Amino acid sequence: MLVLRRFFYHVDFQITSLRPASAESVMALHRAFRSESNNPELSAMEVLKRIDEHIVSIKSRKRGLLSFPFWLIENVFPLFCWFRPQFSLMSLDEQKWMLRRYLLRPHYERMKSTVPFAADFMYQITDVIHALVTLTYFTSSTGQSQVGYILPDARERLQGDIAVLSPPDKSNPNPLPINKEDKNWQKPVIPAKDLPLISPRVGISLDGSPLPDEVDYCIIGSGAAGGVIAYRLANLKGKDNSIIVLERGGYFSPRQDFSDDELNMIRILYTEGGLQNTRSFDFTVFQAECVGGTTVINNAICIQMPEISRNEWETFGVETNFLDKHYETIKQEINIDVLKSEMINHKVESKFITGVNGYNSKQSMTERISDPKRLSGNFSNCIGCGLCNIGCRRMRKMSVLETYIPWAQALGVKVFPNVGAVKSETETRGEKKRINNITVRLPNGEFKKIKIKKAAIVSAGAIASSRFLMRSELGGENVGNGLACNFAMPPLVEFDEEINAFDGVQITMYAAPESYESIFETSFNPPGAYSITFPLYFNRHARMMDSFKKSVNFTALIGSDPAGTVSKNRDILFGRAIEWNKKENDI
């Protein structure tokens, strides 16, 4: 019977990664989390199918484990909540009561429970599941319609290739045409003047060369470090040397592969499908896993090192004056400039200026922060669609995918996507070790050794590089230690009027204290990411989603102490896990 039941789910519902019990739990959780006024019964199957598709595409070890939390909520947690039946068999009221009373308790209640550790574990699991189910719903057309979100291609302001109005003017849906003579049936022709656009050819990989057996230079990672190194090295050495770039993720074309579907883009661009957590589930660590690295999914905001940080570096004997010429070079290469009016939501800008000026007017000179200013970023005629974090389908963000990688390829560099660097083999020469082979995992799962004739460059980011060095037994005992991050604290402010902060670049304005211990900035997310910004549930979460069009985040970005580590010991769930021990200064 169990086999037949699973076969039924495969054939009739096209559910392939979740077992029937977990699938029933997904739909029951969606109905319990959503307000009855939103008719969650009508969207339950859509949420189930989108979660199943998300799990199927995940490449990490978590793919096989993602259905387990749903199974726990369905079968195990009810037993710990005084021997209740399976979660999906309860009435809707009982499901909501169990979630509120036992699984999503606030911290002070968990600490007073009979077994605090068990209460905390159940909360962490259920909170992650709430985020996944909620993200899935609010990235669907049903969820977007509920909050009043308008996709970029539907906005009246964005019907042409070049934006001429400042957001959020005419962010409403463009009127439908009544016939082919109607102006709304035709794309507006806007004189480009001196506003060039990136060629679609730039974002397409056409090279299907086999992975060589030996190379002169091997670069591991294709992001902000790897892509720039590939281009610089090709200019210096490319004429007489073979250079390859290895990237564990895929090589995607913005025009062919990118879309405005948040969940789909998170699935193909983010490490572990956006589910890379610390071992304790306290933090989700967002990184890209694709050619171009995290530059493909970041906000393209560029800030030079402030003077106070330079002075601090110099106390450690690190000279910083040489950075100026490199800043200028990068600025010219990827078009870093102050954000323009066509990109910025002018209502958000006005509210932030009013807020900062109001704060400063009530503070002493020593307590004031800087005047509000527009940030700078690496864009090319951006239209302010507000979807920087899921790639840039319109190719207005000058990420490494559209710049240094194709420039390096034009100079002979070969890029190999879906190839993971596993470890290296070394030989000792005097007091130093030299890498002579790198073992890689090919797209078909097989392993291959590449002989390195001159040098290997590890530039896969702090986490992936640490793991590679550990597997290679290189770098000493400090590898994986001292991991730091930026904590984002994004208070949500609701206004009486509609702001439509989704229309415009996601991060636009900033102000900072003289110490630069933090930066205050405007930020906003499309419905999916917005829906999981805060750990709110039931009525409070519904209230937050109802305020989507009237709200904006005024975020405090705080640099953490180097309290994180990449574990040297592997486990079945996380591999070499990311661990974070919060310090008093961070709190």
Q: Are strands 414-416 and 243-246 parallel, antiparallel or unpaired?
A: parallel
Query: What is d(CA 56, CA 42) in angstroms, rounded to the nearest whole number?
Result: 23
Query: What is d(CA 191, CA 394) in angstroms, rounded to the nearest whole number?
Result: 18
Q: What is the pLDDT along the chain (587 residues), one digit of tens a residue?
A: 656 666 666 666 778 888 888 899 999 999 999 988 889 999 999 999 999 999 888 877 666 678 889 999 999 999 999 899 999 999 999 999 999 999 999 999 999 999 999 999 999 999 999 999 999 999 999 999 999 999 999 999 999 888 889 999 999 999 999 999 998 998 887 766 678 888 888 877 667 789 999 999 999 999 999 999 999 999 999 889 999 999 999 999 999 999 999 999 999 999 988 888 888 777 788 899 999 999 999 999 999 999 999 999 999 999 999 999 999 999 999 999 999 999 999 999 999 999 999 999 999 998 999 999 999 999 999 999 999 999 999 999 999 999 999 999 999 999 999 999 999 999 987 878 899 999 999 999 999 999 999 999 999 999 999 999 999 999 999 999 999 888 888 999 999 999 999 999 999 999 999 999 889 999 999 999 999 999 899 999 999 999 999 999 999 998 888 889 999 988 877 788 899 877 676 66
For 1, the token pair is: 């019977």
CA distances from 520 to 306, 352, 507, 556, 584 (A): 15, 10, 11, 5, 21
Please name the residue ranges forming H helices in 20-159.
20-33, 40-57, 67-71, 77-80, 92-98, 107-111, 116-138, 141-147
pLDDT of residue 485: 86
Q: Determine contact, residues 449/285, Cβ cutoff 8 Å.
A: no
Query: What is d(CA 392, CA 380) in angstroms, rounded to the nearest whole number?
Result: 11
For 207, the token pair is: 């090279």
Under DSSP, the state recorded for 36 is G
pLDDT of residue 416: 96
Under DSSP, the state recorded for 139 is T
Q: Residue 17 half-sphere exposure, CB side, CA atoms within 13 Å? A: 21
pLDDT of residue 199: 87
pLDDT of residue 196: 85
The 3-state secondary structure of 108-123 reads HHHHCCCCHHHHHHHH
Residue 133 CB contacts under 8 Å (≥ 6 apart), including other chains: 26, 29, 30, 33, 47, 51
The pTM of the full predicted model, rounded to 2 decimals, is 0.93
pLDDT of residue 363: 94
pLDDT of residue 6: 60
Under DSSP, the state recorded for 244 is E
DSSP 478-540: TTT--B--EEEE--EEE-SS---TTSS-S--EEE--TT-SEEEEEE---HHHHHTSS---HHH
Closest CA to 461 of 262, 214, 219, 215: 219
pLDDT of residue 164: 85
Return the domain boundaries, the chain.
2-138, 200-304+392-480
- CATH class of the domain comprising 200-304+392-480: alpha beta
| Entry field: residues in the chain | 587
pLDDT of residue 193: 65
For 584, the token pair is: 């008093």
CA distances from 384 to 74, 265, 303 (A): 43, 18, 19
pLDDT of residue 385: 96
Query: What is d(CA 180, CA 402) in angstroms, rounded to the nearest whole number?
Result: 36
pLDDT of residue 204: 72
pLDDT of residue 289: 95
